[in-house]
Each structure stands twice: as C-alpha cells, then as structure tokens.
C-alpha cells in the first residue's frame, strides 16, 4: 500500500472520529495492513491513541492494535519505534499498568537526544487528555501536574515537550468548555489548562498561537464563571493581534472574545460595540471558507447577545 493510502486512512479517521469514534475504531484492524513503512507508524498510532483512549477508553484493545505494528521493517530504536513506545506508554498508563508504561517509556528513551523527563512529560500530558475524555478528572489532573513538574528541566522552543504541553493543555481546555455539566474540579482543570497552554505557546509558538491562547483563556474563564479574567484575556488577545499587524481574521476573533466577555459582565453597549467591530472585519477575510466560518460565528454571537 502507498503512503497516500495510509495518509487517506488517517485523514478520514480524524474527520470522522468526533461523530463516530466507534466506527473509526472498527476500521483500525484493516488499517494495520496499510502500515508498511516505519514512517506510517506515528500517524496511525497517534490516531489509535486518541480514539481508543480519549474517546472510547478502550485502552487494552488499543494496545493490541499498537502491538501489531511492532514488526519489521520497524526498528525499536528508530524515531518511529520510539514514537510507538510512547503511544503504548500512554495507553498502559491509562489502563493502570504503570510498570508496563515505565518499560515503554524507557524504550522510547533509547537513542533519544532529549532528557528522559521530556519523554515522560509528553506521555503524561497525552494520558491526562485521554483520562479527562473519560471523565476521570482526578487522575487527569494528577497526570497533567506530573507532566508540568517534569518540564521543570526547562524545555527550549525546539524541544517537542514544549509544543506537546501547549497542544495538550489547549485541547483539555477546549474539550471542557464544550461540556455543559462540568464539576468544580473540571472547571478548575479547564482554567488551569488554558493558562498552561498560554504559557507554553509563548515559548513554542508564534504570535498567532500566543493570541489564540489568550482567546482560549478568555473562553475558558468565562465558561468557569470568572468573567473579569475573561475580559482581561480577551484584551490581551487583541493587543497581541494589534502589535503584529492586525490580521483581520485574528482581530475578528479577538473582538468576538471581547463581546462575549462584556456580555457576561452585563455591559450590553460594550458587547454591541465589539460585535460591530467583529462584523466589520468579515469582508476583509480573504479565504472564502474562513469568511463563511466567521459569518457562522457571528450568527452564534448574535444569538448569545440576544439572551
């Protein structure tokens, strides 16, 4: 099978997994046959971990699939082999088998140039997202904090741990925002994750990621009932965008965050002002799909402001 076939399989899995995780999981058995080169392993394993872990909690079945990838021409000490070992460690950790997870983490370390804490932090961060997806919030928080503690060694911008922590923390916050029945512990983890994402994107990302991280902080804090903090983060988002050329697309969403925050604080006039600023930027978004998305978000905002 070609790389294109494997890429298509993985892309289709990511497209479908949010609405049909079980169906995507059922396709994995046939997908294993598409993994014919070492470079196929990381993208396939990453999808397996996300779907089997965060969406379904089918840790051991996911591990069975990953073990089927441990065959020639994959070499355990290769970058692809280490990536597979990290994926196994995530599911083993979530399954409660810390000894197996430690063995896999050690295998992931073989030949790596980064410190062992880097591998462990990445494993724990991904595990925290998977545990949160299964509403095991106490364990998710514990794994998340353990990952952050390991990162005390000081990852640089080029260290994969910096980006992994930024992405995982952002995804944690975003996932919790979408839930309507959050517990106080989940609210706390949501806001904590949003702030962590902001800090790590400040190291690993560009101004775009930094601005979007402030946007995420605004939404997470508003969802968690801290409307004053939501407004401050929205203002920081706009300042970052303005300091870097005021890209219409990025500025539009900064004004959206401001509108929601003002509305939550009961300031209807300010919310309407930010809504108008957002609407004025829609025609300036060059990409047609992006412009259509912005129009949809403006409609959602209008509904919120009418309540």
The CATH class that applies to domain 1-112 reads mainly alpha
pLDDT given at position 110: 64
CA distances from 38 to 35, 109, 160, 166, 173 (A): 8, 18, 20, 27, 33
pLDDT < 50 stretches in the chain: 1
The separation between CA 171 and the C-alpha centre of its own chain, rounded to angstroms, equals: 3
CA distances from 249 to 38, 167, 243, 282, 288 (A): 38, 21, 14, 8, 12
For the chain, what are the domain ranges? 1-112, 115-204, 206-307
1.20.120.450, 3.30.1360.20, 2.60.120.200, 1.25.40.10: CATH of 206-307: 1.25.40.10
CA atoms within 13 A on the CB side of 101: 20
What are the pLDDT digits (tens) for 125-168?
A: 999 999 999 999 999 999 999 999 999 999 999 889 999 999 99
pLDDT given at position 75: 84
pLDDT given at position 1: 44
pLDDT given at position 3: 66
Could you give the CA distance from residue 147 to residue 135 in angstroms, rounded to a whole number? 19
pLDDT given at position 297: 97
Domains 1-112 and 206-307 share a fold: yes
Could you give the CA distance from residue 208 to residue 49 in angstroms, rounded to a whole number? 28
pTM above 0.85, yes or no: yes
């Amino acid at each position: 099978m070609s790389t294109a076939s494997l890429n298509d399989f993985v892309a289709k899995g990511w497209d479908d997994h949010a609405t049909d995780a079980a169906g995507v999981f059922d396709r994995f058995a046939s997908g294993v046959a598409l993994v014919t080169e070492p470079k196929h392993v990381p993208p396939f394993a990453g999808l397996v971990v996300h779907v089997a872990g965060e969406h379904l909690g089918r840790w051991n079945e996911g591990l069975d699939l990953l073990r089927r990838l441990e065959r020639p021409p994959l070499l355990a000490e290769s970058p692809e082999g280490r990536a597979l070992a990290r994926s196994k460690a995530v599911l083993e950790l979530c399954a409660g088998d810390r000894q197996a997870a430690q063995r896999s983490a050690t295998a992931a370390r073989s030949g790596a140039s980064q410190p062992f804490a880097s591998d462990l932090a990445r494993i724990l961060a991904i595990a925290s997202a998977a545990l949160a997806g299964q509403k095991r919030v106490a364990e998710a928080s514990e794994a998340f904090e353990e990952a952050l503690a390991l990162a005390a060694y000081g990852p640089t911008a080029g260290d994969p741990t910096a980006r992994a922590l930024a992405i995982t923390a952002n995804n944690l916050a975003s996932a919790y925002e979408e839930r309507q029945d959050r517990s106080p512990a989940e609210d706390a983890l949501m806001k904590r994750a949003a702030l962590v994402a902001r800090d790590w994107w400040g190291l690993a990302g560009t101004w775009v990621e930094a601005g979007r991280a402030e946007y995420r902080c605004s939404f997470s804090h508003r969802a968690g009932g801290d409307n004053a903090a939501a407004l401050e983060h929205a203002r920081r988002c706009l300042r970052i965008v303005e300091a870097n050329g005021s890209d219409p697309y990025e500025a539009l969403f900064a004004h959206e965050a401001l509108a929601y925050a003002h509305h939550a604080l009961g300031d209807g006039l300010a919310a309407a002002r930010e809504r108008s600023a957002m609407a004025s930027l829609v025609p300036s978004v060059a990409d047609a799909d992006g412009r259509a998305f912005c129009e949809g978000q403006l409609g959602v905002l209008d509904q919120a402001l009418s309540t």
